[in-house]
Chain A
Amino acid sequence: MKLKYTLVALGMVAFGASSAVASTLDDVKAHGMLKCGISTGVPGFAFTDENGNWQGFDPAICQAVAAAVLGDSSKVEYTPTTGKTRFTTLASGEIDMLARNTTWTFSRDVDLKFTFAGVNYYDGQGFLVPSSLGVSSAKDLNGSSVCIQTGTTTELNLAEYFRLNNVSYEPVPIETNEEARANYMAGRCDVYTTDASGLAASRSTFENPSEHVILPEIISKEPLGPLVRHGDDQWADIVRWVLNVLIIADEKGVTGAQAQEVAAGPDPELDRILGTEGAYGAMLGLDRDWAVRALNANGNYGEIFAKYIGEETLVGLARGLNAQWTQGGILYAPPFR
Chain B
Amino acid sequence: MISLWRSRQARSVLFQVLAMAGLVGLVTFFGIQVVANLKVMGLSFSFAFLDFPAGYDINQTLITYDSTNTHLRALFVGLLNTALVAFFGIIVATVVGFLIGVMRLSKNFLISRIAVVYIELIRNIPVLLHILLIYGLVVNVLPHPKQALDIGFDSFLTNRGLFMPKPIFEDGASLMFYGLLLGLGLAWGFTYYAKRVQAETGKIYPVFAICTSVILLLPVLGYFLAGQPITMEISVFKTFNFHGGIVVRPEFLALWLALSMYTAAFIAEIVRGGILAVSYGQTEAAHALGIRPNRTLQLVVIPQALRVIIPPLTSQYLNLTKNSSLAIAIGYMDLVSTIGGITLNQTGRAMECMLILLSIYLMFSLLISLFMNWYNNHIKLIER
Contact = CB atoms under 8 A, between A and B. Distances in A.
Interface of A: 1-3, 6-7, 9-10, 13-16, 18, 20-21, 83-84, 87-88, 91, 107-108, 111-113, 133, 141-145, 150-151, 155-156, 158-160, 162-163, 169-175, 183, 186-188, 190, 229-231
CB-CB nearest 3 A-B residue pairs? A151-B345, A159-B67, A112-B348
Given A14-B30, A183-B139, A231-B42, 9 more contacts: A3-B336, A84-B344, A91-B41, A91-B350, A111-B348, A144-B239, A145-B240, A158-B57, A173-B331
Contacts of B56: 155-156, 159, 171
Nearest to A13: B37
A171 B239 contact: no
A171 B74 CA distance: 14
B40 A21 contact: yes
B331 A174 contact: yes
A112 B349 CA distance: 8
B241 A144 contact: yes
B341 A84 contact: yes
Contacts of A230: 41-42
A254 to B, nearest CB: 38
28 contacts: A9-B350, A10-B351, A13-B34, A18-B37, A84-B341, A87-B345, A87-B348, A88-B350, A111-B347, A142-B239, A144-B239, A145-B160, A145-B241, A155-B342, A159-B57, A169-B57, A170-B160, A170-B241, A171-B58, A173-B59, A173-B331, A173-B333, A183-B139, A186-B139, A186-B140, A187-B139, A188-B250, A230-B41
A162 to B, nearest CB: 8
Interface SS, B side: helix
Interface in B110-162: 128, 139-140, 144, 159-160
Given A10-B354, A15-B33, A183-B139, A190 B346 contact: no
Contacts of B304: none
Contacts of B41: 13, 18, 20, 91, 113, 229-231
B43 interface: yes
A2 to B, nearest CB: 7
A188 B240 contact: no
Given A87-B348, A156-B55, A171-B59, A1 B68 contact: no
Interface SS, A side: mixed
Interface string B54-98: 011111000000111000000000000000000000000000000
Given A84-B345, A144-B240, A171-B59, A163 B66 contact: yes
A163 B67 contact: yes
B328 to A, nearest CB: 6
Interface residues of B, number: 48
B59 A150 contact: no
A151 B240 contact: no
B38 A13 contact: yes
B195 to A, nearest CB: 52
B58 A83 contact: no
Contacts of A174: 331
A303 B52 CA distance: 44
A192 to B, nearest CB: 14
B232 interface: no
B23 to A, nearest CB: 15
A163 B206 CA distance: 58
B276 interface: no
Contact of A143 (B55, B240, B250, B328): B240
B47 to A, nearest CB: 14
Given A6-B350, A10-B354, A186-B140, A150 B243 contact: no
B67 to A, nearest CB: 4
A20 B38 CA distance: 10
A180 to B, nearest CB: 10
B190 to A, nearest CB: 48
Given A18-B40, A186-B140, A143 B238 contact: yes
A150 B239 contact: no
**Max chain A CB contacts within 10 Å: which of B30, B67, B68, B159?**
B67
Contact of B326 (A1, A158, A163, A169): A1
Interface in B19-46: 30, 33-34, 36-38, 40-43
A14 B36 CA distance: 9
A150 B333 CA distance: 11
A9 B345 CA distance: 13
Contacts of A169: 57
A159 B55 CA distance: 7
B337 interface: yes
A16 B161 CA distance: 46
A159 B56 CA distance: 6
A145 B34 CA distance: 41
B54 to A, nearest CB: 9
Contacts of A171: 56-59
A231 B36 CA distance: 15
